Amino acid sequence: MAKLGRNELQDLIRRGEDSIAHGTCYTCECFLGYLVQLRIDCDPADKDLLLPFNVERSEMHRCIGCDPCPPGNLYAGYMKKKQNSGLIQL
């Protein structure tokens, strides 16, 4: 599987930040799950772009049920795009 390029990773991170609806989103499993997937999919040399989003495990929390959940929707859309491109099989 091809790794995300640095520019693409920056764009996806920006979209994640733009999707934040509440301050608690930064420590929500929905947003953090999205970032973990980006970390998995990016080149190891570009992981520095994700460092500002590291949080202590004790600060992380479950989804609080926002409807809609912009970070969750972004994550789902990203995974759907990967699936449709044939990069992953579910």
Q: Which residues pair with 82 in a beta bridge?
A: none
pLDDT digits (tens, 9 = 90+) for 13-43: 999 999 998 888 999 999 999 999 999 999 9
Task: Please indicate, yes or no, if residue 53 is contained in any of the structural domains.
Answer: yes
Task: Please indicate, yes or no, if residue 61 is contained in any of the structural domains.
Answer: yes
Q: Is 65 left (phi over 0), alpha (psi -120 to 50) or beta?
A: left
Task: Please indicate, yes or no, if residue 90 is contained in any of the structural domains.
Answer: no
pLDDT digits (tens, 9 = 90+) for 38-83: 999 999 999 999 999 999 999 999 999 999 999 999 999 999 998 8
Does the predicted model carry a pTM greater than 0.75? yes
Task: Please indicate, yes or no, if residue 62 is contained in any of the structural domains.
Answer: yes
